[in-house]
Amino acid sequence: MKNKTVVVGIGGGIAAYKTCELVRLLVKEKASVHVVMTSAAKEFVTPLTLQTLSMNPIHTDLFDITQEQKIGHITLADKADIVVIAPATADLMAKAAHGLANDLLTNILLATRAKVLFCPSMNVNMWNHKATQANVKRLQELGYQIMEPDSGELACGYEGKGRLCEPEAILKKILSLG
Ligand SMILES: Cc1cc2nc3c(=O)[nH]c(=O)nc-3n(C[C@H](O)[C@H](O)[C@H](O)COP(=O)(O)O)c2cc1C
């Protein structure tokens, strides 16, 4: 992935810890990795962890006066070869499906012309909910790639579909998208 810029967007889901490994794998592949965390994502993993792994500053705030000196959200959107959202929460997918742009990550999603891969992860009932399924369909219609979650034991104690795909599988998908 030499000379490729990957913007990794992290939503507020328990599987955010797996994204740390994904970032490490992307760096190993020599990608330039820029991590954007939602406010909820920071409740699950620290910006310091991701900054250390990605070897780049972390982007969190749309209204950050220093990051916005060069209109940071547009710069990131423009320089991305691919945007990967992992974990893509139900909330984040609902926002993206409707074109909302009320934080840094959703602004980047609207501004970028790069390929976007959503890697959802949530409780099985949240995944199966008609609203989530309608949002997934809408995202596909909008041209986004969706990597459907794995089935198995979930962090919430349930069994079923909702596990974030393994970081190695996500890397493979990113490589296949070019
Ligand atoms: C402990 C805990 C775990 C959560 N895990 C998930 C999850 O795996 N998937 C999800 O869609 N929402 C999950 N949520 C709910 C989200 O954090 C919440 O909807 C949040 O608003 C999502 O913000 P975002 O749009 O920044 O991702 C969890 C909440 C808590 C308190």
> Ligand 1: does its nearest atom lie under 6 Å from the Cβ of 94?
no
Give pTM, 2 decimals. 0.96
For the chain, which residues make up each domain, given as ranges?
A: 5-177
Rounded to the nearest whole angstrom, what is the distance from the C-alpha of residue 68 to the centroid of ligand 1? 27
Give me the mean pLDDT over the 4-26 stretch: 98
Contact 29, 171 (CB under 8 A): yes
Contact 72, 111 (CB under 8 A): no
Q: Which atom of ligand 1 is nearest to the CA of 41?
A: 26
pLDDT (0 to 100) of residue 12: 98
Percentage of the residues of the chain whose pLDDT score is greater than 90: 85
Instruction: State whether residue 48 is helix, strand or coil.
Output: helix
Q: Listing from the earlier edge strand, what are the strands of the sheet with 5-10?
A: 32-37, 5-10, 82-88, 115-120, 145-146
Write the pLDDT tens digit of every residue in 122-173.
999 999 999 999 999 999 999 999 999 999 988 888 889 999 999 999 999 9
pLDDT (0 to 100) of residue 66: 65
Rounded to the nearest whole angstrom, what is the distance from the C-alpha of residue 118 to the centroid of ligand 1? 15
Identify the band that residue 51 occupies on the pLDDT scale cut at 50, 70 and 90.
very high
Beta strands in the chain (DSSP E): 5-10, 32-37, 82-88, 115-120, 145-146, 150-153, 159-163
Which CATH architecture fits 5-177?
3-Layer(aba) Sandwich (3.40)
Angle between helices 104-111 and 90-97 (to 10 degrees): 40
Distance (Å, rounded) from C-alpha 128 to C-alpha 124?
6
Query: What are the φ and ψ backbone dihedral angles of 41, each rounded to 5 degrees?
Result: -60, -35
Distance (Å, rounded) from C-alpha 81 to C-alpha 114?
5
Sign of CA dihedral 65, 71, 74, 77: negative
Write the pLDDT tens digit of every residue in 53-83.
999 999 998 887 666 656 667 889 999 999 9
- Under DSSP, the state recorded for 103 is S
Best residue among 18, 45, 91, 150 to mutate for probing ligand 1, ranked by most atoms within 8 Å of CB: 91
20 is catalytic: no
Nearest CA, atom 14, ligand 1: 13
